[in-house]
Amino acid sequence: MNKILVIGATGQIGVELTAALRSRYGADNVVATGFNQSPGDALVKSDPYCHLDVRNAAALDRIVEEYRCDTIFHLAALLSAVAEEKPQLAWDINMNGLIHVLETARMHRCAVFFPSSIGAFGPETPALDTPQVTVQRPTTLYGITKVAGELLCDYYCHRFGVDTRGLRYPGLVSSKALPGGGTTDYAVDIFYAAVASQHYDCYLRADTRLDMMYMPDAIRAAVRLMEADGSALRHRNAYNVTAMSFTPEQLAAEIQKHIPGFRIRYKVDPARQAIADSWPRHMNDEAARVEWGWRAEYDLPVMVKDMLEQIELKLHKG
């Protein structure tokens, strides 16, 4: 990777991925793009940033041409809960955006990173120890775009030789940029509520177990996968990766070890509960471990301690 384009750089993953790539490859070698007209507080204003609607193929092509990009991290998408409210828009952004990225990558010989998700699985998928290769019949529009995205990335690899690689991320917990419209967002919102008011109304049931990962692990996984020897990759799109699996009840109990007065209540949102119930509980990530050396570094206690410290700083520094 020499010249990198991050699409969706102002999002929950994009903000931290852009910073990590700029630190590793040099700020001038990482072009950040987002739907926002300006990077806002999320990104360093002095470093390369372009407004980009990923549905505009010509604009995407111009940016790749101008900056001579050889690698594209394509993060722009509508997440699960929002996509259920706007399925046609989600299909347009998630699928037409992806085909424009793959076509541009084909013409400019770029490698492509595509984030899939546990959302790519459905009710028929084995919920525990979910295999790398298994039934994928998601019941959400978001999940359908993730399965189709995985297959499209595989197609561009074997049909056109595009170096496509991807990860099936679990719910991601981060302190730098807020998540935008996902089902697992509770696992981020709860920290802000705990620090600000010591209570949180959770929209998922107390026993809703889901795979989760702390953002530093998610960023390291994406960079390590894109730097891996391509000849060793059998599963390319997209590797199961996980770090922990917990319920809202377990997360709240861990927070209470630091904030004894913290209380959680449950006001279940049927729509997001139905999405969460259709996803697996814990993925098997052996293929990622064997093929490119994946290892998580953050578990629940370490993540909670660090998140609370980061949110305290963020809410009380200014």
Catalytic residues: 142
CB of 80 to ligand VAH, least distance (A): 3
Tell me the residue number closest to ligand VAH, measured at CB.
182
Strand 128-130, strand 171-173: pairing: unpaired
Residue ranges of E strands in 148-279: 164-169, 171-173, 199-202, 210-214, 239-240, 244-246, 263-266
Q: Does 79 bind ligand VAH (CB under 6 A)?
A: yes
In eight-state DSSP terms, residue 119 is G
If one asks whether residue 174 binds ligand VAH (CB under 6 A), the answer comes out as no
| 176, 244 Cβ separation under 8 angstroms | no
Tell me the helix, strand and coil percentages in the chain, rounded to 5.
45, 15, 35
Among 14, 34, 48, 119, binds ligand VAH (CB under 6 A): 119
98 binds ligand VAH (CB under 6 A): no
The three-state secondary structure class of 201 is strand
Q: Is 242 in the site for ligand VAH (CB under 6 A)?
A: no
In the complex with ligand VAH, the residue whose CB is nearer, 64 or 75, is 75
List, as one string, the DSSP characters of 255-280. Answer: HHTT-TT-EEEE---HHHHHHHHTS-
Task: Name the one range near ligand VAH by CB under 6 A: 23-31, 98-106, 171-179, 259-267.
Answer: 171-179
Specify the residue, 17 or 63, whose C-beta has the smaller distance to ligand VAH: 17
- Closer CB to ligand VAH, residue 8 or residue 182? 182
Calpha distance 96→98 (Å, rounded):
5
DSSP 8-state code for residue 42: G
Query: Residue 59 CB, nearest distance to ligand VAH (Å)?
Result: 26
Chain residues 130-159 in contact with ligand VAH, contact rule CB under 6 A: 142
- The three-state secondary structure class of 178 is coil
Could you tell me which stretch among 28-36, 167-175, 226-234, 237-245 binds ligand VAH (CB under 6 A)? Answer: 167-175
